Amino acid sequence: MKFVPNILKAFLINLCFIGIIFAGESCPSISPKVAADNPKDQTEAILNDIVCSFIDLQSSNDGNLASTLNLTKKKILPYIDLEYFTEMALSSHWNKLELKERKIFERDIKNSLIQEYISILSSFTDWENIQITINDYSQIENFANVKVSISLKNETGDTSVALKLIRTNRWKIYDLDYQTISIIDIKKMGYDSKIKRQGIEKLIQKMLKKS
C-alpha cells in the first residue's frame, strides 16, 4: 500500500518533534531511572533522553548512518516494549507460536523499524521551530495513553499524537497513534497479508534466511 511509507515517516518525524522542545529546555536530560514513576514524567524523560543524545551526536558532526544506528540501539530500542508490540501486531497468531518463533517475529519488527527510520533520523537536523505540549494522559492499571500536540512557530494548526505505554518493570512505549492509525495497525496489516498468502511457517523460514 503506497500510503504506508509516508505514514511511517510521519510517525518518526512526529516522535522526533515530541522530544526536541524538552531537549532544548533541559539538556542534559533527566534519566527515566530517576524521573517520577508516572506516564507523563516518564514520557518526558524518555523523549528528552533520546533527543539530547541525538543533539550531542549532531554537535560532534558524527551523525552518519553507522553512528545513528548505534545510538538508536542504545537510546531508542530500550524504551520500546518490542515483545508486547509484537504480540499486538500478530494478534490471534501470537498464541499459536512457540517462544523461539515469537522471538523471530520480534527480531523482524526491530530490524524493520530500524530500516524504516534510521535514514530519517540520520538526516533530520532542523529542530529550531518545533514546539511541543503534553496535553494530558489517561491510565488504567499498567497501561497509559499520553496525548501530545506538535506545532511549528509562526504557523497555525498543530498535529496530535498519542503515545501508548505499558509498565512491567518500568514504563515503555509500545505504540504511537497518528490520525487514528498506529504503527501496530500497519505491522498487523502487513503480517496478516503475508500469512494469508504464504502461511506462517513459510514466513518464519523467510525471516530466518534474512537474519
Q: What is the pLDDT of residues 152-171, one digit of tens each?
A: 666 666 677 888 999 988 99
Across residues 11-34, what is the average pLDDT?
A: 58
For residue 211, the model assigns a pLDDT of: 67
Across residues 123-150, what is the average pLDDT?
A: 76
For residue 15, the model assigns a pLDDT of: 55
Higher pLDDT, 81 or 16: 81
Q: Which residues of 79-104 are buried (b: 16+ CB within 10 A; e: fewer)?
A: bbbbbbbbbbbbeebeeebeeebbeb
Q: What percent of the chain has pLDDT over 90?
A: 32
Label residue 60 exposed, middle or buried (CB < 10 Å: 0-12, 13-18, 19+): exposed
* pLDDT band with cut points at 50, 70 and 90 for residue 130: low
How many other CB atoms are there within 10 angstroms of residue 149's CB atom? 15
d(CA 33, CA 42): 9
pTM of the model: 0.79
* pLDDT band with cut points at 50, 70 and 90 for residue 112: confident
* pLDDT band with cut points at 50, 70 and 90 for residue 141: very high
Cα-trace Rg, the chain: 17
Q: At what angle do helices 183-198 and 99-123 cross, to 10 degrees?
A: 130
Long-range contacts of residues 43-46, Cβ cutoff 8 Å, at least 24 apart: 43/134, 43/137, 43/146, 43/163, 43/165, 43/171, 43/173, 44/134, 46/79, 46/171, 46/173
Q: What percent of the chain has pLDDT over 70?
A: 73
Copy the grid coordinates of residue 82: 518490542
| CATH code of the domain containing 204 | 3.10.450.710
* pLDDT band with cut points at 50, 70 and 90 for residue 41: confident
Question: Do 200 and 93 contact (CB within 8 A), yes or no?
Answer: yes
Number of domains in the chain: 1
pLDDT tens-digit readout, 53-110? 777 777 776 657 777 777 777 777 888 899 999 999 999 999 999 999 999 999 998 8
| Domain housing 188 | 3-210
For residue 157, the model assigns a pLDDT of: 64
d(CA 139, CA 166): 10
Question: Do 147 and 133 contact (CB within 8 A), yes or no?
Answer: no
For residue 135, the model assigns a pLDDT of: 77
For residue 99, the model assigns a pLDDT of: 95
Geometric angle at alpha carbon 76, from 172 and 38, rounded to 5° = 30
Phi and psi angles of residue 34, each rounded to the nearest 5 degrees, phi first: -110, -5
For residue 156, the model assigns a pLDDT of: 64
Higher pLDDT, 140 or 131: 140
